[in-house]
Amino acid sequence: MYLTGFADEAAADLAGQIRATKQLGWSFIESRAIDGTNIHDLDDAAFDRACGQLAEAGVRVNCFGSTIANWGKDIRQPFDKDLEQTRRAIPRMQRLGCRLIRIMSYAVIKENPAADQMEDERFRRLRELARMFLDAGVQPVHENCMNYGGMGWTFTQKLLDRVPGLKLVFDTGNPIFTADRTKPEPHPYQSAWEFYSRVRGHVAYVHIKDGRVDPKAGKAIYGWPGEGEGDVARICGDLVARGYAGGISIEPHMGAVFHDPSVKTDADARFATYVEYGRRMEKLLLGLGAKLAK
């Protein structure tokens, strides 16, 4: 088992992301955005500079946190952009020796019931994307976020059944504020443990967020790992007991939220929060008996 994280939550620039990673004593970054641009959308010169910085620092990218088929993509829109991003991502991942890429299953069509989400088209597109990645030696992992598969564990299971070769990245924090569409209306919020326990045999990677929903505002309030309703300690304890040897990637959402530009702190506080979050996560895992590789 090893620790990594969305270091763009520590700093916008890659130098700051590397500095946070080195301060934690880690060797990996889950690369998402550099200076606000996703790594598969950087121009060639910017990507070349990033490769040089990472090589000089001795820091590796263990996973691409892509925007492919994510919550910002409507399944009713053309497929072209995802195909273009996939074709750019693959050679970049190969250059960096990265073998995991986070993808999703398109935004939920909010005005439609759970049974009317254009499933066949979602599955068709994801099969094509998965085949492209797998043929290139890259493992696509689906995140239970604000997307079709994130509506509940049964929807994720359908994806696994219909998209050969797909595996999962399980995010502990997303269920906290997501309606459980596997249950009748009014849909309760999901249980992170229930979701995880139903799909854990397919989990190849883990994202760590934690927090709780403010009942008055109906909004997620993020906090330190193990102190919220994300069942972080229980899930990590199960991973340790099952001999999980993959990555644990922190995504604090406390100092910076990638998809919510209204959430801001000053740069020093943002950096310090990320490093402290990483240290707390490491302590939690060691307390559960995890053997952590550097």
* Residue 277 pLDDT > 90: yes
pLDDT, tens only, 82-91: 999 999 999 9
Segment 119-148 shows an average pLDDT of: 98
| 3 state SS of 143 | strand
User: The whole model's pTM is what?
Assistant: 0.95
Cα-based distances in Å from 213 to 152, 163, 250: 18, 32, 19
CA-based end-to-end distance of the chain: 9
pLDDT in tens, 122-134: 999 999 999 999 9
Closest of 173, 241, 166 to residue 204, by C-alpha: 166
Q: What's the pLDDT at 257?
A: 60
Q: How far apart are CA 284 and CA 294, in angstroms?
A: 16
Other CB atoms within 10 Å distance of the CB of residue 25 = 12
> Confidence band (pLDDT; 50, 70, 90) for 284?
very high
Domain range 2-287, CATH architecture:
Alpha-Beta Barrel (3.20)
Q: Peptide bond preceding 186: is omega within 30 degrees of 0, i.e. cis? A: yes
pLDDT tier for residue 215 given thresholds of 50, 70 and 90: confident
pLDDT 10s digits, 32-67: 999 999 999 999 999 999 999 999 999 999 999 999
Q: Which 8-state DSSP code applies to residue 139? A: E
| β-strands 33-34, 37-38 pairing | antiparallel
Q: Which residue has the higher pLDDT, 191 or 216?
A: 191
What's the average model confidence in pLDDT over 216-224?
89
